[in-house]
Amino acid sequence: MGLRKAIQELDRAVDDLSSLHVQTFIGDISISTENSSVVTENNEGVEEIAVSTSTATYTDIESLKEITTVKADVSIVAETLIKFDGDSYNFVNKDYDKIPTAAIDIHREALKNGLDTRLGLINLFKEIIT
């Protein structure tokens, strides 16, 4: 994709840069497709088809958010909302000590990534316009 197309796509894709909202979920989860069965071989080399019943599956983020309300083993780890007027909001799961630090690390990096990217865009266009 060339720069012109990329920026046009971005222009179409981006609604609003005035706030940043990051949510991080964790659980026994997997992405599902149309046929969610898993094909494996047993010891005799015979194909078996197994359907997991213990793993929550989701096809997109909306379905995942629905799952989190019904499945106790999929939960939201942290949620951060930063408004560019200075207000911010931070949520961390009450069972913080049970949440793997990996999840918090990833949430933090995702937040930083979002802020840096917004700053990059703002700097780019601000420098050019002035």
Instruction: Check residue 24 for interaction with other proteins (CB under 8 A).
Output: yes
Whole-number Cα distances in Å, 32 to 40, 58, 59, 83, 104:
17, 6, 5, 34, 25
Instruction: Check residue 9 for interaction with other proteins (CB under 8 A).
Output: yes
Pairing of strands 56-58, 38-41: unpaired
Number of residues that this document lists for the chain: 130
Report the site for other proteins in 72-91 (rule: CB under 8 A).
73, 77
Binder to other proteins among 37, 40, 59, 102 (CB under 8 A)? 102
Give whichever of 13 and 46 is closer to other proteins, judged by the CB atom: 13
Give whichever of 49 and 128 is closer to other proteins, judged by the CB atom: 128
Q: Which amino acid is at 28?
A: D
Which segments of 56-124 are extended strands (E)? 56-58, 74-83, 88-92
Those residues with Cβ within 8 angstroms of residue 60's Cβ, 6 or more apart along the chain or in another chain: none
Instruction: Check residue 38 for interaction with other proteins (CB under 8 A).
Output: no
Instruction: Check residue 57 for interaction with other proteins (CB under 8 A).
Output: no
Contact 117, 10 (CB under 8 A): no
Please give the residue ranges that form the binding site for other proteins (CB under 8 A): 1-4, 6-7, 9-11, 13-17, 19-31, 58, 60-61, 64, 73, 77, 100, 102-103, 105-107, 109-110, 112-114, 116-121, 123-125, 127-129
